[in-house]
Structure 1
């Protein structure tokens, strides 16, 4: 199966009231884990690569690994650029074979964010590639993107309406209290703000920084309109934690397969758990 646009997956999610999981891939084992989990749960899935992943593995390796995984899958798989920060980077991903891109202009003045996002849409939509954008700043760190607590501004609902109308994006990432990386305490999401945004915009809503958000809070966000949920940190924790356990128990082990294999299985389990929380398990359309 070839890659599908994220917009197609979110359209079904909107119609049926669930969220599709978007999971960051950083190496071959995590690519395999994402698709294995989707197959096990019969769930549509979004595999996404950030700037850090592209810099680490190379864009051609990322696309090739994801394409092999998707080709053998019986569930719909999208390949999405996570937090693209320039028009040029987005174009490189479009040319490389991504089926969906995100331009993150949230640190820019609104009109500049709109102008670049419109350029991205103009280039991507004619070739069937969906576009996500971001309005408001999400706290924490995502690879090279750093936002301080003081700078982390929640999305203004009226500005969200204006932004979507002006850009024509397929989905919108909003800031309602989540953060990238590990939380120091339990995040408090602004559900009323989320409901207001949902009432004013006509596109699916995306929640970034969702690792560490309690399951019931995620379910409430879905009830209020979130249709794509990003998970990265939880996968890293499961993967690296298992590597440490294996090496602690077998300090003389030198076979990478015996170290990374169990880590891959740990990643599969955490991804499957998230899919069940999001309600996308059993929702794959053949």
Structure 2
């Protein structure tokens, strides 16, 4: 199945009451496991190349990897640039075969964020692909503090940029290693009341699974980004594989042992975004 756009998977999700997982990739082993898990659960998946992934592997290579996996997959796969910070970076992703761009201007003043996001949206739409933007800053666990999304600004941002999906800051943070927090459902309702654009939660690993399911099935949140939760699963599996035999040194053999545990963890994540699974 060829790659699809973000809108191709989010419009049905919004209509039918579920969310799609945006899974943060770091390399071949995890992205392959993510697609295998999506096939096992018979659901679409969004493969995301974030800043740390791009620092390790060039965008043109990532585009080819995503496309290779998508063409052999039995479910829809989106190749998504996560947290693109410049026009040129977004342009490179488009030229590398990505089908969705996420421009992050959330640290900028509102007018500047709108103008720069609109330029990326225009470029994406001219090429027949999707664009996600962010309004309100999503901070980091034990790092930069969040700035919550103002519903009126969210309505203006959605209307003036034409984004296909809108990431919001509603109590979520990046890099949270447990699910002790939770999202501000009143703020989500206020945002949803003023715009119909599909909403995105970055830092989804820190959102309790039960709340993920509730919001996925009852609100316009159509995409949860999941990174830390699955990085932990991969790291634990890798540690076990290395420690199981002090004589092992072949990286291919070691990395093969991460596949099944990451598939299992990913399937658990995917089930939290649909009803009765």
TM-score range, shorter chain: over 0.9
Residue 123 of structure 1: how far off its partner (Å): 0.9
Matches within 5 A, 1:24-35: 24-35=24-35
Q: Higher RCO, 1 or 2 (CA under 8 Å, sep at least 6)?
A: 1
- Show the counterpart of 2:42: 42
Structure 1 residues 65 and 184, CA gap change in structure 2 (3 angstroms): closer
**SS of 1:102's equivalent?**
strand
Shift of 1:65: 1.2
Q: Which residue of 2 aligns with 1:237?
A: 232
Q: Which deviates the most, 1-10 or 183-192?
A: 183-192
- List alignment gaps of at least 5 residues for structure 1: none
Deviations 1:88-121 (A, max 9, x none): 1101101111000000000000000000011011
Where does residue 216 of structure 1 map in the other structure?
210
How does the TM-score come out when normalised to structure 1?
A: 0.92
* CA shift for structure 1 position 75: 0.6
**Tell me, which stretches of 5 or more residues in structure 2 are unaligned?**
none
* CA distance in 2: counterparts of 1:84 and 1:11, whole angstroms: 23
The Cα of 1:264 is off from its aligned counterpart by 2.0
State the 1:160 CA deviation: 0.3
Separation in 2, partners of 1:194, 1:68: 37
Aligned residues: CA RMSD:
1.7
Aligned with 1:13: secondary structure? helix
Structure-2 residue corresponding to 1:196 = 190
Per the alignment, residue 170 of structure 1 pairs with: 164
- Which residue matches 1:206? 200
Rounded Cα–Cα distance in structure 1 between residues aligned with 2:237 and 2:118? 43
Q: Which residue of 1 aligns with 2:151?
A: 157
Deviation at 1:221, TM superposition (A): 2.2
Give TM-score, length-normalised by structure 2.
0.95
1:281 CA drift (Å): 9.8
Q: For 1:18 and 1:103, how far apart are their aligned partners in 2?
A: 24
3-state secondary structure, aligned to 2:115: helix
Name the residue aligned to 2:126.
Answer: 126
Q: Using the TM superposition, give the Cα deviation of residue 54 of structure 1 relative to its aligned residue in structure 2, in angstroms.
A: 1.3
Matching residue within 256, 270, 277 for 1:275: 270
* Runs of 4+ off more than 3 Å: none
Q: Secondary structure at the match of 1:278?
A: coil
**What SS does the corresponding residue of 2:46 show, helix, strand or coil?**
strand
The alpha carbon displacement at 1:185 in A equals 6.9
Cα offset for 1:3? 1.0
How many residues get paired? 276
Q: SS at 2:205's partner residue? A: coil
1:242 deviates by 0.9
CA distance in 2, matches of 1:208, 1:280: 21
